[in-house]
Structure formats: C-alpha cells, structure tokens
C-alpha cells in the first residue's frame, strides 16, 4: 500500500509557500504604489508652487509683450509718415525706433532685476505702400481732368489701417445710395463688395452690398457727426466714429488679390489713408507722380520682432508680428 502521508505534507507546504509569496508580492506592490503616489503628489505640489511663485512675473511678461506690440506699432506708423524716400530708409528708421524701445525698456526693468530685450538687430519688415490724400478735398483723382470713379490699389492681398475722415455736410443725403452715394468698391475678379457712406437725416450711415445695382441691406452702422461735423470710418477696424462710436460688424470683405476703387468720389470729402502690403510699383494703380490730390509712399506694412523677458522665476521668449490696424482674422 502506497504511503501518501508525505505527499500530502509536501502539497500543504507548497500551498503555504505560494501563499507567503503572494503575501510578500502584494506587500511589495503596495509599497511601490505608495511611493509612486508620494512622488506624483510631490511633483504636483512642486509645479503648483512654481506656478504660484512665478504668477506675478508671468503676468508681467505677458504685459511686457503687449506693451512692446503697442510701442512697435507706433514706431511703424510714425516712420511711415516721415519722408524717407525709399524702403531702405523706412527699414532703417523702424529698426532705430525699435532700438530706442529696447534701450528704454531695458533700463526700466533692470531696476527690478529683470532682463528684457526687444531685439532690433533681428527686426524683419514687410514692404508696403501708404496711400493717402494729402489735403482736405473730394475723394477724386484730379490731375487736371477730374475722375470721380478711379482705382487706388490693384491686386492687394493685405490692407490695414484703412480710414476715411468725412466732412458730414459733403456726403450726399439720399434714400437710394446705390444711385447717389459715395462708395468704396472691392473687386477680386470674381466677387465684389461695395461700402457706402451717405447721410440720412442727422445720421451718417455706412452700408454694404455685393451687387452694385441693388440697394444695400440694412445699415451696417450709423452715428451723428461730432461737434466739428466730422465722422471717421475705420474700414479695416469696422468702426464708425462721430459723436458716438458704432460697431460695423461684417463690413470688411474676405478677399485676396482685390482692387480698391472709389466711385462717385465727388459725393464725399475729407481725407483718407490706407496701407497695403507690396511695393509701390506693384500696388498703386494711379500716377503718384502727378499732382492729383493723392499720394503713395514706401512704407513698412508690418514688423516682426523677437521679444525676451527673463526674471529669477520666468524665462519668456517669443516673436511678435505687428501690423497696426490690420483686420481681425
């Protein structure tokens, strides 16, 4: 008869060994999980602490960037209005102006233990053209033979800071603007957009249409003139400013490769200006050498500038593109 006593004892021992193994393994895993949790909590705590510590500097870094954008925009617009004569002159002047921004901001922040930089040596500009009416008058092209319908700019892809300052009394008062009112026409060879300005009672009204022969839809915006009898239409900014401000949502067309024309320019008077991307010879559609009441000069359409902010807790570096008065995307 076989002896099974030893076998039963061996089987019982194996079960006990396996049980002990699983118990030890479970305890080991539990310890590992506890360590991982502690490490994770420590990492989260450290990150939150760093965020809290850098919160003030982080906000100041973003504010510094916004300040630089505003200051560079002012430099670009100021230098575009000065008679530099060519694109190299405009670029040199813009770079010098940004260098002055760098000097002033560096000195200002150095006292706080913060190093900042507006890297004027790495400035890049896009060639543009500033088109403007150099004195108050009707929006016509008059080189001895007056043209009331005429093209300012051709094949434009980017336009910014397009403003028209109207003398309200010189705008036509009409209930049929498609027949009588001054309008700015945009034409890309396929689509068209017409922006009207006219008077309706005490208000100056700006309205838009896609068909030159159809009445424009509901007025996009309307305001009364200011105390001087003037109203400014910020076309790219989609605002009308007079005694009050009005939003002109949806006014600016979404096009590329478009021409800009004035039609019935004798039904409006004042001044206007716009800046387009592209060199003068490629964009201007009129003889800017003629004494015709309108001029075009080399300009910087935009400026791209590296910006740096570095404190004990924050290092912030970025590149900003500045194009004052560009339509919102």
User: CATH code at 267?
Assistant: 2.60.120
Residue 59 lies in a domain: no
Residues 6+ apart with CB under 8 A from 320: 65, 68, 69, 72, 304, 305, 307
Which pLDDT score, from 0 to 100, does residue 120 have?
A: 65
Residue 61 lies in a domain: no
213 near 178, Cβ under 8 Å? yes
3-state secondary structure of 147: strand
How many structural domains compose the chain? 1
The reported pTM is 0.81
What is the Cα–Cα distance from 123 to 111, expressed in whole angstroms? 26
Residues 6+ apart with CB under 8 A from 266: 138, 139, 140, 146, 148
What is the Cα–Cα distance from 65 to 59, expressed in whole angstroms? 10
User: Over its length of 329 residues, how does the chain's per-residue pLDDT go in tens digits?
Assistant: 444 444 433 444 444 454 454 444 454 444 444 334 333 333 332 333 233 334 556 788 899 999 999 999 999 999 999 999 999 999 999 999 999 999 999 998 998 899 999 986 789 999 999 999 989 999 999 999 999 999 999 999 999 999 999 999 999 999 999 999 999 999 999 999 999 999 999 999 999 999 999 999 877 899 999 999 999 999 999 999 999 999 999 999 999 999 999 999 999 999 999 999 999 999 999 998 888 899 999 999 999 999 999 998 899 899 999 999 999 85
Residue 149 lies in a domain: yes
Please identify which residue in the block is written with the tokens 């190093």.
Answer: 115
Residue 286 lies in a domain: yes
Show the domain range for 155: 135-292
Residue 62 lies in a domain: no
| Tokens, residue 23 | 């118990």
Residue 198 lies in a domain: yes
Which pLDDT score, from 0 to 100, does residue 35 have?
A: 38
Which pLDDT score, from 0 to 100, does residue 291 have?
A: 86
Residue 312 lies in a domain: no
Q: 287-306 burial string, b = 16+ CB within 10 Å, else e?
A: eeeeebbbbbbbbbbbbebb
Residue 270 lies in a domain: yes
């Amino acid at each position: 008869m076989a002896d099974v006593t030893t076998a039963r004892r061996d089987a019982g021992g194996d079960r006990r060994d396996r049980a002990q193994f699983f118990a030890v393994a479970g305890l080991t895993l539990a310890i590992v999980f506890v360590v991982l949790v502690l490490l994770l909590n420590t990492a989260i705590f450290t990150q939150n602490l760093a965020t809290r510590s850098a919160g003030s500097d982080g906000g100041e870094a973003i504010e510094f960037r916004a300040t630089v954008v505003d200051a560079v925009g002012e430099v670009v617009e100021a230098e575009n209005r000065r008679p530099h004569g060519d694109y190299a002159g405009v670029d040199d002047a813009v770079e010098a102006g940004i260098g002055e921004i760098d000097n002033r901001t560096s000195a200002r922040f150095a006292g706080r233990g913060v190093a900042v930089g507006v890297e004027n040596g790495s400035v890049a500009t896009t060639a543009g053209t500033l088109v403007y009416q150099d004195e108050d008058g009707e929006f016509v092209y008059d080189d001895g033979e007056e043209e009331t319908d005429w093209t300012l700019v051709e094949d434009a892809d980017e336009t910014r800071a397009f403003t028209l300052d109207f003398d309200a009394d010189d705008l036509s008062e009409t209930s049929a603007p498609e027949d009588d009112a001054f309008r700015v026409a945009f034409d890309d060879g396929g689509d068209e957009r017409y922006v009207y300005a006219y008077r309706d009672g005490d208000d100056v009204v700006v309205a838009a249409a896609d068909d030159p022969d159809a009445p424009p839809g509901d007025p996009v915006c309307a305001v009364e003139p200011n105390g001087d009898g003037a109203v400014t239409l910020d076309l790219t900014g989609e605002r009308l400013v007079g005694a009050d401000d009005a939003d002109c949502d949806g006014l600016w067309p979404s096009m590329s490769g478009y021409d800009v024309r004035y039609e019935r320019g004798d039904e409006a008077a004042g001044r206007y200006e716009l800046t387009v991307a592209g060199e003068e010879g490629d964009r201007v559609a009129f003889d800017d050498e003629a004494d015709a009441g309108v001029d075009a000069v080399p300009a910087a359409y935009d400026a791209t500038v590296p910006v740096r902010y570095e404190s004990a807790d924050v290092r912030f570096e970025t590149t900003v593109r500045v194009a004052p008065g560009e339509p919102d995307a």
